[in-house]
Amino acid sequence: MKTEKKYKLTVRLNEEDYRKLKYQSDNLEKNKTETIRELIRKGIYTDIKEFNLNLKELLLIKRSIANSLNQISKKLNNSSLEEFKKIEKDLDKLWQSLNQ
């Protein structure tokens, strides 16, 4: 269902902004006007804000994983072969319990 378009908007862009708009239009396989309409309708500001919040959460998780990996590495580097085998058995038990 087509709606009547009453308003005309003229926008002037610098070369970089124009290239970005053209790139997005090509990726969406739409003309530049349709691309701008879609960006307006989707409320891109809200999407970007949500994306940034998710990104912050992912960075916190990444830091936590990196810290844990670092601690494991230190423990393994300072452990004897017997301690390593015990850790390996404990990890196997943990893995088996997670797979049940």
pLDDT of the residue at 40: 83
User: Whole-structure pTM over 0.85, yes or no?
Assistant: no
pLDDT of the residue at 22: 93
Instruction: Give the chain's end-to-end CA distance (angstroms, integer).
Output: 52
More confident residue, 26 or 1: 26
Give me the residue spans of the domains in the chain: 15-99
pLDDT of the residue at 12: 94
CB 98 within 8 A of CB 90: no
Amino acid, single-letter form, for residue 54: N
- The total of other beta-carbon atoms located within 10 Å of residue 35's CB is 19
CA distance 92 to 35: 52
pLDDT at residue 1 tops 90:
no
